[in-house]
Structure 1
Amino acid sequence: MSTKPIIHVLAFDLGASSGRAMVGTLDRTAPEGPVLRIEEVHRFPNEPVQAGGHLYWDILRLLHEMKTGFRKASEGRDIESFGIDTWGVDYGLLGEDGELLGNPYHYRDGRTHDTVAKVHGIIGQDRLFTETGLQPLVFNTVMQLHAAAESGSVSLKHAKELLFIPDLLLYLLTGVKQSEYTIASTSQLLHAGKQEWHEELLSELGIPADILKPVVMPGTVVGALSDEVCAELKLPPIRAVAVPEHDTGAAVVSVPSTDGKPLAYLICGTWSLLGTELADPVLDPAALALGFSNEGGMGGTARTLKNIMGLWLIQECKREWDQSVTPRSFAELVKLAEEAPAFRSFIDPDDLLFLPPGGMPDRIRRYCRETGQPVPETEGEITRCIYESLAMQYRLVLARLEALTGNTYGGLHMMGGGIQNKFLCRMTASAIGRPVWAGPVEASSLGNMAAQLIALGEVADMTEARGLIKRSYPLDIYEPEQPEVWDEAFERYLSITKMSIMPGK
């Protein structure tokens, strides 16, 4: 541990629609004890590019924006280290000379649309889950690579190395090639709960195992900015830390829970991730049937969680409304929703009808029409339908999580940008019938920073890091309201969506 009263670290937090460069400042001079302050120094869009019938990430634009982030972060500060977290599953391929073989595919690209059935025909659904711990989602890395192998992809044939998106960006900045554990755990290429590639599975699917790099655990200093990048940016060789590079893995580090009791978290953004932190993955067949996955966490823990479609639904509606009617802010849409009738219509947020972009308001109307419900027409009615349905889905998934783990959760830690929507937080507390502890907003960035501070020896461990975050960012607490009304509405939700807490029981 250093004796410096002020320590600055830089977190790059890249989501599926935007990225940020965030400076974290560990301030040991605060009267209440050390605190971790956060400042956004650069924000930039992350927009996919459609070309030649495929959807790609503009990886070099992201690299350019990150370099701008380094410049801005270093104005008047000495940055001790940096780390990168992003969405999961996507990757880039490097050739013999270490150069990138084309732009990485976007996980919503359509080339894998029929791959799950093909992979199940080779591996078997039950075996695939019990051996990897992940749901067989159409965009998982294993599906992308099998589709590439089956199509005779020239890039895959010539690839010498595969790097997941945060590792690819780290390589372009430092020259270091690695596979960080939490991001690798989203690929469905690892043995469940282990830091080992499943080479037998890879062989059966025609995927070359030798392109995968050794797995590195988060919380490790792995290198520094390359000489070339230092010269370009006129910066010293800032240390690079392998943080939990999957943004959900980073966010879970920042759960402000220090009492040692079982915890349940909801990371609320474009996707909603509701789960818990365990010593070992849950590989029960019921977990497969209920859509739960097991990803890797800081310290080798298992993140047993369920992906829920999340704020993608309202983001897509707003995008369409902004093009056809008077643009409204999210806050204005919430106000319209508050004025709309309650519990009029529900959707299953995870219905595959809502996965593709485009036409979201009409898709929601179609779902309601086909399920015999009143069809929401106005912006307020559709917005309320989305938020009430999300709250109900959170209740359902939390109940299923308790059934799978045998744990009872006293409340729900709700984190991420979505908690700025107090309307949704209130609804969630009422839906689950227990408190919602909301905070922090910048969960992924703070978890990224905490992992850097642990790697640097400035913070001892996860427990101290969570206490630091809890002290730095007090929680907003939402208590349930009108429990009988919400219980009755939840039964209607289950009836409309044809779901139950434990199917078959």
Structure 2
Amino acid sequence: MTAAAGHDSASAAYAVPAKEKNYIFISSGTWSVIGKLLEEPLITNEIYDKGYSNEGAAFGKIKLVKSIMGMWLIQELRKCWKNQGKKIDYGYLTEESEKADAFSHMINVDDELFVAPLDMELAINQYCIRTQQTVMEKQGQFYRAVMESLAFKYREAIQDLENIVGETVDTIYLLGGAVQDRAFCRHIANATGKRVSAGPIEATAIGNAMIQMKALGYLENGDEYIRMIRESFDICCYEPEETEVWNRMYERYREVTAQ
């Protein structure tokens, strides 16, 4: 017999190296799973209206989570650029995005235009035209617009979650491949006004391993896995900066994406 949390995001949630009890986690891959661990299900109309759901987690806990878009837009943009013979490595794209103007374009990453487009670059520009924004041409513009907009989407989802549970959190634990993009981690901290603790990268595999060790009796203390993860993997912390600017731009983001 093999003990498992049930699915990938449940395993990833057990890789959160949180010392505090009150936090929100984001597992960011192709999709983003935003949530909070609870002792028992929370069932309200607001949960349904905001797109959250109760799911099983390891050791009898409940994950109150919502799935939104993740790195899908970037993955599809890279596919377009590869077909055009352009450079697509993440280091290059991050550098180019740093050269682009901040907040020049804003998109709703969950818009239906982006679900399965033949050309993501074209789909994003179609969205920009529809929302009275200029079209983009440079790779750095696309990359920055997606990452800033995704950070704002996280803020929106986190505010909904805080309202649902009636608690405000100070720390976000970011898991998955997205933690490798330091600029994106900073965007999340700035957009949400919360500390971001980024890592580990392979959260699903690590969380699953911790669950196996717990089931086999190697982890006697309930929080021992947290110490093991912190001592074994790089965890980077990002504090929010320029929050007034980001708060102002968030209001603009909401206006643009409401169209």
Q: TM-score, normalised to structure 2's length?
A: 0.96
Matched to 1:311, the amino acid is M
The structure 1 residue matched to 2:144, chosen from 384, 399, 411, is: 384
3-state SS, counterpart of residue 105 of structure 2: coil
Q: Does 1:313 pair with 2:81?
A: no
- Deviation track 1:275-315 (CA, whole Å, cap 9, x = no partner) reads 10011223211111111122110012111111111001100
Q: Determine whether 1:249 maps to 2:10.
A: yes
The aligned amino acid for 1:256 is: P
Does residue 278 in structure 1 map to residue 38 in structure 2?
yes
Amino-acid identity (%): 37
Q: Does 1:332 align with 2:82?
A: no
> How much has 1:408 moved relative to structure 2?
1.4
Secondary structure at 2:158's aligned position in 1? helix
Shift of 1:472: 2.1
Q: Partner letter of residue 249 of structure 1?
A: A
**Residue deviations 1:301-334 (CA, integer Å, cap 9, x gap):** 1111111110011001101110113232012111
Structure with bigger RCO (C-alpha 8 Å, 6+ apart): 2
Tell me if the contact between 1:428 and 1:436 (Cα under 8 Å) persists in the aligned partners.
yes
Deviations 1:326-380 (A, max 9, x none): 2320121111111111101111111122111531111111111101112222211
- 1:366 maps to a residue whose letter is Q
Corresponding residue SS for 1:242 = coil
224, 230, 236: which one aligns with 1:476: 236
- Letter of the 1:253 counterpart: Y
Displacement of 1:246 = 1.1
Among 375, 378, 399, which residue is 2:135 paired with?
Answer: 375
TM alignment of 1:4-403, pairs within 5 A: 222=1, 241-259=2-20, 261-403=21-163
How well do the aligned residues superpose, as a CA RMSD in angstroms? Answer: 1.4
Q: How far off its partner does 1:470 sit?
A: 2.0
Q: For the residues of structure 2 that align with 1:294 and 1:359, how far apart are their CA atoms?
A: 35
Q: Structure 2 CA distance, aligned partners of 1:419 and 1:495?
A: 28
CA shift for structure 1 position 461: 5.5
Q: Using the alignment, how far apart are the partners of 1:305 and 1:352 within structure 2? A: 21
Shift of 1:434: 1.8
Secondary structure, aligned partner of 1:413: strand
Question: Which one of 463, 471, 474 corresponds to residue 223 of structure 2?
Answer: 463
Equivalent pair of 1:253/1:462 in contact (CA under 8 Å): no
- Aligned partners of 1:249, 1:461: CA distance in 2, in Å? 20
AA of the residue aligned to 1:246: H
Shift of 1:400: 0.8
Distance in 2, Cα, partners of 1:315 & 1:439: 21
Map of 1:80 onto structure 2? none
Q: Which has the higher helix share?
A: 2
**Closer, same or farther: CA 462–297 of 1 in aligned 2, 3 Å:** farther
- Code of the residue aligned with 1:471 in structure 2: it is E
| Distance in 2, Cα, partners of 1:488 & 1:388 | 13
Distance (whole Å) between structure 1 residues aligned to residue 91 and residue 54 of structure 2: 34
Letter in structure 2 aligned against 1:247:
D
> How many Å separate the matches in 2 of 1:496 and 1:357?
21
Which residue matches 2:204?
444
Q: Partner of 1:28 in structure 2? A: none
Q: Which residue of 2 aligns with 1:115?
A: none
How far is 1:467 from its partner? 2.5
Mapped partners of 1:345, 1:282: distance in 2: 37
Is 1:410 the counterpart of 2:156? The answer is no
CA shift digits 1:209-248 (9 cap, x unpaired): xxxxxxxxxxxxx1xxxxxxxxxxxxxxxxxx13124111
CA contact (8 A) 1:309 1:355 kept: no
Partner residue of 1:200? Answer: none
Q: 1:462 to 1:324 in 2, by over 3 A?
A: farther
Counterpart residue type for residue 393 of structure 1: K
Task: Say which one has the larger Rg.
Answer: 1
CA distance in structure 2 between the partners assigned to 1:447 and 1:288 by the alignment: 28
Task: Tell me, yes or no, if the aligned pair for 1:253 and 1:466 is still in contact at 8 Å.
Answer: no
Answer 1 or 2: which has greater strand percent.
1
The amino acid of 2:49's aligned partner reads A
In the alignment, the residues of structure 1 paired with residue 88 and residue 204 of structure 2 have an alpha-carbon distance, to the nearest angstrom, of 27
In the TM superposition, what whole-angstrom CA distance separates every residue of 1:9-51 from its partner, at most 9, and x where no partner exists? xxxxxxxxxxxxxxxxxxxxxxxxxxxxxxxxxxxxxxxxxxx
- Are the structure 2 counterparts of residues 462 and 355 from structure 1 closer, same or farther at C-alpha, using a change threshold of 3 Å? farther
Residue 486 and residue 349 in structure 1: after superposition, are their counterparts in 2 closer, same or farther (change >3 A)?
Answer: same
Question: What count of residue pairs does the alignment treat as equivalent?
Answer: 259
The whole-number CA distance in structure 2 between the counterparts of 1:351 and 1:255 is 29
User: Which whole-Å CA distance do the structure 2 matches of 1:382 and 1:254 have between them?
Assistant: 31
Note if contact 2:128-2:134 (Cα within 8 Å) is conserved in structure 1.
yes
